[in-house]
């Protein structure tokens, strides 16, 4: 679960770097009694920011969704304020 939460944040931040350079980013983690919630949100690219033109296999969000689905659930969506949101709720089975 910990590695999956880390990968969700890593993939979301990579996507911001690739597609919304300079955007404001908010990362939130919440550890509850039986789950860990991860939320990564970004706004639009900063003025003058552009696509980083980094290589992309195009499977980042798909792979992340597959990893998280094996443990819990994931949601990826566009935001009304031009930006992106990735959220995951993962069961904490550590005790």
The residue to which tokens 């910990």 are assigned = 2
Q: Are 13 and 26 in contact (CB under 8 A)?
A: no
At 5 the pLDDT is 86
- Whether 70 has a pLDDT exceeding 70, the answer reads yes
At 51 the pLDDT is 57
Q: Which of 58-62, 74-78, 86-90 has the lowest mean pLDDT?
A: 74-78
What are the structural domains of the chain? 2-47+58-91 (3.30.565.10)
At 41 the pLDDT is 93
Regarding beta strands 35-42 and 25-31, do their DSSP bridges make them parallel or antiparallel, or are they unpaired? Answer: antiparallel
- Can you tell me the distance from the alpha carbon of 95 to that of 93, in angstroms, rounded to the nearest whole number? 6
Q: What are the pLDDT digits (tens) for 77-89?
A: 656 667 888 888 8
């Amino acid at each position: 679960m910990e590695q999956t939460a880390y990968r969700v944040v890593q993939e979301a931040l990579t996507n911001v770097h690739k597609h919304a350079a300079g955007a404001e980013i908010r990362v939130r983690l919440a550890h509850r009694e039986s789950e860990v919630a991860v939320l990564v949100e970004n706004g639009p690219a900063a003025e003058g920011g552009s696509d980083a033109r980094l290589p992309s296999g195009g499977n980042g969000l798909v792979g992340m969704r597959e990893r998280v689905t094996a443990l819990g659930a994931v949601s990826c969506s566009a935001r009304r304020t031009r930006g992106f949101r990735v959220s995951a709720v993962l069961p904490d089975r550590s005790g």
